[in-house]
Amino acid sequence: MSLNDATTRIEHVFSGTFAHSTQSAALEILENCVLGVDDEGKIAFIEKDPDVDSLSKIWGFDASERIKLGQYEFLMPGMVDTHIHASQYSYTGTALDLPLLDWLNTYTFPVEAQYKDLDFANNVYTKVVRRTLKNGTTTACYFATIHTDASLLLGELADKFGQRALVGKVCMDCNSAVPQYKESPDQCKAETDRFIIELLKKEYSNVKPVVTPRFAPSCSASLLSELGEIANNNKLHIQSHISENKQEVDLVKTLFQDCKSYTDVYLKHNLLTNKTVMAHGCHLTDEELKIFHERGSAIAHCPNSNISICSGMLNVRNVLNHKVKLGLGTDVAGGYSPSILDAIRRALDTSKALTIQDPEHQTLTFEEVFRLATLGGSEALSLDDQIGNFVVGKDFDALRVNVCVPGGPIDLFPGEGPKAVLEKFLNLGDDRNITEVYVAGRRVLVTEHHWPPFTSIVWTQNQCK
């Protein structure tokens, strides 16, 4: 441990049990640990079994003021939602009776067309940012709509409530089913430029733009090329959809006949970079996965959506064997839950369903899926130098979890150690168990528990600014 250089001020110190993933371990549980966060929101130190008095002298904090986690509490990294449509949140939990292309035409495009109304946008975007934060999503990679001003508003709200976010103004110049919901190619390019410039001008510390062609069937080849150029010239993130359902894969074959595969469409238009995340990928071939690996591009696994609108089942084991980066996504509203805890459970269910089909299939473990929800998500968004686990120098994005809140969903029994407690939280827990949420060292949400059971939520972000 190095001596404090006196310029580092310690803002928070926690002691107790921490759970996170590392490069070598899907799950590492650190008991009797002390973690310090500096005034820039970064992890300054993390020590196992330390002498707290000497640590407090070295780092200049008051040992009596540290936050001592209780017997049923632990800290874990904030969860990363690598794919969520903020604009579809208003109808989450409904409209799950059609396959992808019909679902888009019938439900999605008519709703998304309403975001020219900023009051409508403000209502939905406020609710989705609050709901996801409350469920432990400290980082969200959002699709908005084609509307620049509403997309900028989503960025403003994520910043206001303290969520780390990538925000995408959706680009689409083809839409024969709902022709009023698209832009001309020129408009698309001009508005994408405006969106990026305006969002970057705000200088939000944790909210950035992501170039967002909706998916190949919604975009002309020239628009895809323009967007590839914009992203590469400005070193921006890119997000889209790929190989979600078979009808869509066939459609792409007919629309882009000079391309060898769906992956080749994005490759040819310079949209596969190490800052690209593509949602779904259920029907990608091994050859396509090799291209993903070579390009350093990632997949957002959206298991709730894949099942809810009957798109397919992604073989995550095969993706991981190809060394392709992968995180979890809720894909609201194709997925009916805004919680990454749900994505964890659905990812395990899908993996088990694949094992039922093929007993040779190596089922994912809960530890592996915990990794996908945290460190894996940060890798998929190329943010793993900043977030994803508890490493000195990374931002402190974390959840304080209490598995024994009054009226909560978990019962514990004698002899259950921290691993069983974490597994119970991942399988049975919900937002009632997430009592504090930190993003870049700032406590952005705290819940106050009362007896008889009643939980009030205190939004702290406005007070912090």
Ligand X SMILES: O=c1[nH]c(=O)c2nc[nH]c2[nH]1
Q: Examine residue 331 and tell whether it contacts Zn ion (CB under 5 A).
A: yes
Q: Examine residue 441 and tell whether it contacts ligand X (CB under 6 A).
A: no
What tokens were used for 298?
């990632």
Q: Examine residue 210 and tell whether it contacts Zn ion (CB under 5 A).
A: no
SS3 89: helix
Which range binds ligand X by CB under 6 A, 36-44, 100-108, 153-161, 401-409?
100-108
Taking the complex as a whole, the smallest distance from the CB of residue 311 to ligand X amounts, in Å, to 7
Q: Examine residue 147 and tell whether it contacts ligand X (CB under 6 A).
A: no
Q: Examine residue 164 and tell whether it contacts ligand X (CB under 6 A).
A: no
Q: Examine residue 242 and tell whether it contacts Zn ion (CB under 5 A).
A: no
Q: Which amino acid is at 286?
A: D
- Contacts with ligand X by CB under 6 A: the residue count is 11
> Which residue of 153, 157, 223, 279 would you call a contact of Zn ion, by CB under 5 A?
279
Residue 49 dihedral angles phi and psi, to the nearest 5°? 45, 50
Torsion sign across C-alpha atoms 193, 199, 203, 209:
negative
Taking the complex as a whole, the smallest distance from the CB of residue 86 to ligand X amounts, in Å, to 11
Residue 215 interacts with which of Zn ion, ligand X, none, CB < 5 to 8 Å by class: ligand X
Residue 216 near residue 252, CB atoms below 8 Å: yes
Residue 81 interacts with which of ligand X, Zn ion, none, CB < 5 to 8 Å by class: none
The count of residues in the chain is 465
Taking the complex as a whole, the smallest distance from the CB of residue 204 to Zn ion amounts, in Å, to 23
Q: Examine residue 108 and tell whether it contacts ligand X (CB under 6 A).
A: yes
> In sequence order, what E strands does 4-131 have?
10-20, 28-38, 43-48, 67-68, 73-77, 79-85
Q: Examine residue 92 and tell whether it contacts ligand X (CB under 6 A).
A: no
What tokens were used for 325?
């980066």
CA distances from 38 to 13, 59, 336 (A): 9, 10, 38
Query: First CA to last CA across the chain, in angstroms?
Result: 33
> Which residue of 214, 301, 424, 432 would you call a contact of ligand X, by CB under 6 A?
214
> In sequence order, which ranges of 99-177 are alpha helices (DSSP H)?
100-103, 109-112, 118-134, 148-161
Give whichever of 46 and 121 is closer to ligand X, judged by the CB atom. 121
Give whichever of 42 and 85 is closer to ligand X, judged by the CB atom. 85
Residue whose structure tokens are 């001008």: 201
Among 170, 103, 49, 129, CA closest to 334: 103
Taking the complex as a whole, the smallest distance from the CB of residue 124 to ligand X amounts, in Å, to 15
Q: Examine residue 343 and tell whether it contacts Zn ion (CB under 5 A).
A: no
> In sequence order, which ranges of 162-301 are alpha helices (DSSP H)?
185-201, 221-233, 246-255, 262-268, 286-295
Between CA 128 and CA 154 the distance in angstroms is 10
Between CA 418 and CA 30 the distance in angstroms is 9
What tokens were used for 149?
């001003």
Which range binds Zn ion by CB under 5 A, 119-127, 132-140, 182-190, 327-335?
327-335
> Which residue of 244, 379, 384, 395 would you call a contact of ligand X, by CB under 6 A?
244
Give whichever of 136 and 329 is closer to ligand X, judged by the CB atom. 329
> Please, which of residues 310-339 interact with ligand X by CB under 6 A?
331, 334
> Please, which of residues 59-88 interact with ligand X by CB under 6 A?
85
> Which residue of 72, 125, 215, 438 would you call a contact of ligand X, by CB under 6 A?
215
Q: Which helix (H) or strand (E) holds 445?
A: strand 442-450
Q: For the chain, what percentages of helix, strand and coil (3-state, to nearest 5) are there?
A: 40, 25, 35
Residue 425 interacts with which of ligand X, Zn ion, none, CB < 5 to 8 Å by class: none
Site of interaction with Zn ion (CB under 5 A):
279, 331
Site of interaction with ligand X (CB under 6 A):
85, 100, 104, 108, 214-215, 241, 244, 305, 331, 334
